[in-house]
Every structure is written in C-alpha cells, then in structure tokens.
Amino acid sequence: MIDLSGKTALITGGSRGIGKAIALRLAGQGADVAFSYKGNEVAAAATAGELEALGRRAVPIQGDVREPESAEAVVKAALEALGKIDILVNNAGITRDDLIMRMTPEAWRDVLETNLFGAFWTTKAVTRPMLKARGGRIINITSVSGQAGQMGQANYSSAKAGLIGLTKATARELASRGITVNAVAPGFVLTELTESLPDDLKAQITERTPLGRFGTTEEIASAVAFLASDEASYITGQVLAVDGGLVMM
C-alpha cells in the first residue's frame, strides 16, 4: 500500500473534479493537503471538510496561478501552513474550445496562461524549498490532447503539449537533488464537464477507446499517488497515460 504519512502536498485547482479526487487520494494515503482554488469558496470549503474527515490537515488557498505573484503567494501560504511541500501537483486548467479560425486572442491566451504558465509559476516558486530539502515530487496533469492533438482545442492541446516539455526539462534540471518530475495524461474522464456531452459523442469516445469506457477521477488520482510515493523514486521525466489505451506511443 502506498504510504504518504508525514508528507505534505500542494494541488492547484484542487476543489473539484480531478483535482479534488487527487486531494482525497493523497490524504487517504496519509498526506496533509493544501490546495488552490480560483473563486468557488463553497466547493473549496466542502473539499476541505472531506479532507479533514479523513484525519488530515486541509488548507484551501484562494489564488489564480496564471499570475506569477499569485502563484508565489499560493506556495508561500502552503509552506506557512504545512511547514514544507513534498509533493506539488499542477492540475489547474481551463478550456475555451473553438476552431482556430474562430478562436479569439483571449481564448488562446487564457488557456495557455492558466494551463501552462500557471504550472511554470508554481513549479518555479516551489523549486527553491524543494532544492533545500534535497527531495520532492512534482506531477503535472497533462492530457491526451497534448499527445495527439484535438480538433477545436488548439489552445488546450498546445498548453498540454507544452506541459510535457516543461515536465521533461524540469526533470533534467532537478534530478541531481533527488526531485522527480513526471506527468499524468488522462484520457476522457467522467467529470461534471463530460457528463453533459451528447450521448452520440460519448458513444464515439467509448468506441475509440480500446478499454471501451470513460475513466474515473479516482483512476487518475491512483496514478498521481503512485508517482508521488517512494515506489516511484527511480521514475522521472515520464508521461504516464491513463486513457484506456486511447493514445499508444
């Protein structure tokens, strides 16, 4: 069993969806958890309550990671509350889907700044304390869209592909201090967003997926927990696809 007792984690975008599932899994394995949220205080409070019910410390932190100063403030608040950050999960992300010919500059910029720049700013902010501790785990949540591209998601696919490059570059820079950096690439996962998809589109997705179904947020969280643990101590710079076989590389 994965044991994260005594570890502390910071998860960006951790109040709902995949981020919340990751927070609950890490807490369930023994970690104290800080998580950022952009604006939904009700969801953040509910998630914090669920984490505390597991007997762990929970620290919700309001902040927008696409702003460097805000990302630094989120990391600082987590350090002050928990004393250290052993695990950083860059999960915060948005979509603004449209075809390239119709995509606005704002839609392009917002997705890149949140999904890619945000991960860079939080990684940058956590690097110094992890270097001093001579250890740590950084896990970036990318996507099959970043591996194979997705029509109508030029912004999202570009950001998630960039996140893979960031993962590998950071892994090389930090390896000498015992810090591992990996990415998890979810396929189509059952969330509030995908539940509202038309039935015919859901059928197309399951047909394209070799395992013939959507994934669950808990399955993504299991991969993150593994990469965050001592069991993954010799794994770095890798992209772990949790996608039912959708993208085989």
In angstroms, the Cα distances linking 29 to 32, 38, 139, 153, 161 are 9, 26, 16, 35, 30
| CA–CA distance, 72 with 238 (Å, rounded to integer) | 26
Q: Report residue 193's pLDDT band, with 50, 70 and 90 as the boundaries.
A: low
What is the number of other CB atoms lying within 10 angstroms of the CB of residue 73?
Answer: 18
Q: Note the pLDDT of residue 201.
A: 80
CB atoms within 10 A of CB 179: 22
pLDDT at 249: 66
pLDDT confidence of 17, banded at 50, 70, 90? very high
Q: Reply yes or no on whether the pLDDT at 87 is more than 80.
A: yes
pLDDT score of 209 more than 70: yes
Active site residue 156: yes
Per DSSP, the three-state class of 87 is: strand
Task: Tell me how far apart the alpha carbons of residues 65 and 87 are, in angstroms, rounded to a whole number.
Answer: 17
Q: Which residues pair with 240 in a beta bridge?
A: 184
The terminus-to-terminus CA distance of the chain in angstroms comes to 29
Cβ atoms of 227 and 22 within 8 Å: the answer is no
Determine the pLDDT at residue 199: 81
Tell me the residue ranges of DSSP E strands in 17-78.
32-37, 58-62
From residue 208, give the alpha-carbon distance in Å to each of 90, 121, 154, 203. Answer: 28, 35, 20, 9
Percent of the chain residues past pLDDT 90, beyond the cut? 85
Inter-CA distances, 8 with 32, 89, 201, 223, Å: 5, 11, 39, 17
Per-residue pLDDT, averaged over 45-51, amounts to 96
Question: Which one is catalytic: 156, 188, 214, 226?
Answer: 156
**Average pLDDT of every residue of the chain:** 94
pLDDT (tens digit per residue) in 234-248 = 999 999 999 999 988
Element housing 124 (H / E): helix 118-133
pLDDT of residue 248: 83
pLDDT at 133: 95
